[in-house]
Amino acid sequence: MASSSSSPYHLLFSLTVLLLLPLSSLSADPDPLQDFCVADRNATISVNGFPCKPISQVTSEDFFFSGFMKEGNTSNVFGAIVTPGNVLGFPGLNTLGISMNRVDFAPGGINPPHSHPRATESGVVIQGKLLVGFVTTNNVYYSKVLSAGQMFVVPRGLVHFQKNVGEGKAYAFTAFNSHLPGTVTVPTTMFATTPSIPNEVLTQTFQVEEEVINSIKSKFGA
C-alpha cells in the first residue's frame, strides 16, 4: 500500500527533474549541431549568431587568430585597452560558445566598471599586478590584488573592473562562455550615449548638480 500511494509523488519528482535538466544548457550559448559554423559576417540576417559560411568557402585561416600578439594602445582616458577575440574578428568561434580578450594596462590604468550580459568571465594575469573586483546584486563587493599567474572569475552579468596597481605595465587574458559576451561599460553607458540620457535623470540619480554631470560628460566627448 505504501508503495502504491507514493508512486504519484515519484512520478511528479521524475517529471520535475526532466523539466529542469534542460535549463543548464541555457546558461551559455546554445550547443552547436555540427562540427563548426564559421561565421558569414557578410550575411544581412543573424539570429543568436551568424549564419554559417558555405563549407566550400571555409579555410584554415577561419580557425586561427593572431590579434593578441601585440600590446594594445593604452593612450586613452582610462589607460587601458581591450583587444577582443570574439566572433566579430574570429569567425571560427561562431556557435562554439567561447571567446577571449587581451586587456593591456598602462601604469595606473583601469578597465572601468562594466558587465557582460551574456557570459561569465574568467581571467589570468600575465604581467604586472591588478586589483580585480566585482559587486553582487546585493551590493557586496569582492576583490583581490593579483599577480602574474593568478586567476579570477566574475559571474555572468555582474559589474566588475580591473585596475593596474603595480609599478609598470600589466596585461591579462580573459575568457568567456559566449562567442559574443557583450560589454556594458558603466561610465560610457551613463554619460556618453547617443542620444544622451537627460541631465535631469542623471542629476537625480547621482544626487549632484547639473554642472557636475556636464563636466563628466565632457570627459567622454558627449
For 128, the 3-state DSSP assignment is: coil
Question: Residue 179 annotated as binding?
Answer: no
Question: Residue 114 annotated as binding?
Answer: yes
Cell (9 digits) for 160: 566588475
Q: 200: which residues sit within 8 A by CB, 6+ positions away? A: none
Residue 107: CB atoms within 10 Å: 14
Question: Residue 73 annotated as binding?
Answer: no
DSSP state of 93: G
156 backbone dihedrals φ, ψ, rounded to 5°? -50, 130
Cell (9 digits) for 52: 554559417
Q: How far apart are CA 179 and CA 85, in angstroms?
A: 9
Q: To which H or E segment does residue 92 belong?
A: none
CB–CB of 158/136 below 8 Å?
Answer: yes
Closest CA to 85 of 123, 142, 31: 123
Question: Residue 138 annotated as binding?
Answer: no
Closest CA to 64 of 42, 43, 45, 36: 36
Report the binding-site residues: 101, 111, 114, 116, 121, 160
Report the binding-site residues for oxalate: 101, 111, 116, 121
Report the binding-site residues for Mn(2+): 114, 116, 121, 160
